[in-house]
Amino acid sequence: MDLKRFYSLNFLGRLLLSAIFINAIPGKITNFAAQAEYITNRGFPEPVSMIMMVGAIALLLGGTVLLIFTERIKLACSLLLVFLVPATIIFHLIPFQLAAVARNLSLIGGLLVVIEKSK
């Protein structure tokens, strides 16, 4: 791995963009049952809720690791978008949570810019 890459603004930007995803991962893992129950309470069957939680964790982990440590930036951002767009629609539009929707729209915009600017 090229150490010069770690001192670039590009790396710093990707690290900071991923910070919110890094922060979300431990809570999803340590509170798996409560998170899955929240999804179930939103109207999804319990087995689907469990699958959605496993998928969310996989997308967050995979996307974050790829974004920070690899050159597979388009794939990383795409994985994070696959998590973020449905989560925003399903969990924050009804009931409308302005702060969460605004945060997620900002993240979606940032991920789209990174995809556009990546090689």
User: In which band, very low, low, confident or very high, does the pLDDT at 8 lie, cut at 50, 70 and 90?
Assistant: confident
Q: Distances in Å between the alpha carbon of 57 and those of 2, 7, 33, 82?
A: 28, 28, 13, 12
If one counts the domains in the chain, the total is 1
pLDDT for the residue 79: 98
* Helical axes 32-41 vs 9-30, angle rounded to 10°: 80
Share of the chain above pLDDT 70, in %: 93
Question: Read out DSSP for 47-96?
Answer: HHHHHHHHHHHHHHHHHHHHHHHSS-HHHHHHHHHHHHHHHHHHHHTTTT
Output the pLDDT for position 52. 98
Reported as a single tens digit per residue, the pLDDT across 11-47 is: 899 999 999 999 999 999 999 999 999 999 999 999 9
CA distances from 28 to 24, 32, 74, 78, 98 (A): 7, 5, 24, 20, 22
pTM: predicted TM-score of the whole model, two decimal places: 0.91
pLDDT in tens, 65-103: 999 999 999 999 999 999 999 999 999 999 999 999 999
Given this model, what pLDDT does residue 48 score? 97
What is the span of the domain harbouring residue 101? 3-117
